[in-house]
Amino acid sequence: MVLRADNVVKTFALRGKQKGTVTAVDGVSIEVRSGETLGIVGESGCGKSTFGQCLTRLIDLTSGTVEFEGEDISSLSRRRLRPVRRRLQMVFQDPYSSLNPRMRVADIVAEPLRIHRTTDRRAIPDRVADLLERVGFDPSMAGRYPHEFSGGQRQRIGIARALALNPSVLVADEPVSALDVSVQAQVLNLLADLQDEFGLTYVFIAHDLGVVEHVSDRVAVMYLGDLVELADAEELYASPAHHYTEALLSAIPQIDRDGAPRRERIVLSGDVPSPANRPSGCPFHPRCPAATEICRKERPTLRTLGSRQVACHHPLPVPTTRVVTPTGQSQSVR
Partner 1 sequence: MERPAGPWRVALTQIAHNPVAVVSGVLLVAIIALCLAAPLYAQYIAHTNPFESNLNGYTMVAGERVAVLQQSTTGLKLGVEPIGPTWNLSGYFLGADGQGRDVFARLLYGGRTTLLIGFTSAILCCAAGALVGIVAGYFGGPIDWVLSRLMDIVWAFPVYLLAISLSVVLLTDGLRIGPIVIGPGNLMLPIGIIALIYVPYVARPLRGQVLSLKNREFVKASIGLGAGDWRILRREILRNVLPTVIVFIPLMAALNMLTESALSFLSIGVQPPTASWGTIINDGLDLLYTRPAVALAPGILLVLTAVALNLFGDAVRDALDPKAKLRGAA
Partner 2 sequence: MPSSTRGCAVPDITESGIAGPDTTADAVASSPLLAVRDLRVAFRTRAGVVNAVNGLSFSVAPGEVLGIVGESGSGKSVSMYSMMGLLDNPNATITGSARFDGAELIGMPTKRLNRIRGNRISMIFQDPMTALTPVYTVGWQIVEQIMNHEKVTKAEAWSRAVHLLDEVGIPDAERRARSYPHEFSGGMRQRVMIAMSLACHPSLLIADEPTTALDVTTQRQILELIGDLQAKYGSSVILITHDMGVISEAADRVIVMYAGRAVEMGDESTVVRRPRHPYTWGLLGAIPKPGQRKQRLPTIPGLPPGPRDQPTGCPFQKRCRFAMEQCSTLPPLIATGEEQNHLDACWLPDEVREELREEVA
Partner 3 sequence: MMYVAKRLGSAVLVMFAISVVVFLIFFATPGVDPAARIAGRGASPEVLSQVRHEFGFDQPLPVRYVLMMSHLFITQDLTSYVNIGDRVVPQIMQAAPVTLSLVLGAAIIWIAFGLGGGILATRFRGTVVDPIIMIVGITAISLPAYWVGEVVNLVTQDRLHDTVFSWVPPLGYVPFTQDPGQWALHLLFPWLTLALLYGGIYARVLRAELVNALSEDYVRTCRAKGLSERRILWRHALRGSLSPVVSLFGLDFGSLVGGAALLTEVVFGLPGIGKLTWDSLQNLDLPVIMACVLYAAFFVVAANAVVDLLYAVIDPRVRRA
Ligand X SMILES: Nc1ncnc2c1ncn2[C@@H]1O[C@H](COP(=O)(O)OP(=O)(O)OP(=O)(O)O)[C@@H](O)[C@H]1O
Using CB under 8 A, list all residues that contact partner 3: 17-19
Out of 17, 78, 265, 334, the residue judged to bind partner 2 by CB under 8 A: 265
Instruction: Tell me the per-residue interface mask from 72 to 111 with ligand X, x by CB under 6 A, - otherwise.
Output: ----------------------------------------
Taking each helix axis from N to C terminus, what angle separates 124-134 and 151-163, rounded to the nearest 10 degrees? 130
Q: Report the residue number, 19 or 257, with the smaller CB distance to partner 2.
A: 257
Q: Report the residue number, 46 or 157, with the smaller CB distance to ligand X.
A: 46
Out of 1, 9, 76, 103, the residue judged to bind partner 1 by CB under 8 A: 103
Encoded amino acid at 229, one letter: E
Give me the least distance between CB of 76 and ligand X, in Å please: 21
- Given a contact cutoff of 8 angstroms between Cβ atoms, the answer to whether 27 and 322 are in contact is no
Q: Report the residue number, 56 or 153, with the smaller CB distance to partner 1.
A: 56
The CA-based angle 321-322-324, given to 5 degrees, is: 145
Regarding 69 and contact with partner 1 (CB under 8 A), the answer is no
* Distance in angstroms (rounded) separating the CA atoms of residues 244 and 164: 38
Annotate the chain with three-state secondary structure. Answer: CCEEEEEEEEEEECCCCCCCEEEEEEEEEEEECCCCEEEEECCCCCCHHHHHHHHCCCCCCCEEEEEECCEECCCCCHHHHHHHHHHEEEECCCCCCCCCCCCCHHHHHHHHHHHHCCCCHHHHHHHHHHHHHHCCCCHHHHHCCHHHCCHHHHHHHHHHHHHCCCCCEEEEECCCCCCCHHHHHHHHHHHHHHHHHHCCEEEEECCCHHHHHHHCCEEEEEECCEEEEEEEHHHHHHCCCCHHHHHHHHHCCCCCCCCCCCCCCCCCCCCCCCHHHCCCCCCCHHHCCCCCHHHHHCCCCCEEECCEEECCCCCCCCCCCCCCECCECCCCCC
Instruction: Tell me the per-residue interface mask from 154 to 193 with partner 1, x by CB under 8 A, - otherwise.
Output: ----x--x---x----------------------------
Instruction: Tell me the per-residue interface mask from 38 to 77 with Mg ion, x by CB under 5 A, - otherwise.
Output: -----------x----------------------------
Out of partner 1, Mg ion, ligand X, none, what residue 275 binds, judged by CB under 5 to 8 A for its kind, is ligand X
Give me the least distance between CB of 333 and Mg ion, in Å please: 23
Give me the least distance between CB of 260 and partner 2, in Å please: 7
Q: Report the residue number, 88 or 212, with the smaller CB distance to partner 2.
A: 212
Out of 72, 126, 143, 271, the residue judged to bind partner 1 by CB under 8 A: 143
Out of 6, 173, 213, 246, the residue judged to bind partner 2 by CB under 8 A: 213
Residue numbers of the site for partner 2 (CB under 8 A)? 43-44, 150-153, 180-186, 188-189, 192, 207, 209-211, 213-216, 233-234, 237, 247-248, 250-258, 260, 265, 267-268, 271-272
Residue numbers of the site for partner 1 (CB under 8 A)? 53, 56, 58, 78-79, 81-82, 85-86, 89-90, 92-94, 97-104, 111-112, 115-116, 140, 143-145, 147-148, 158, 161, 165
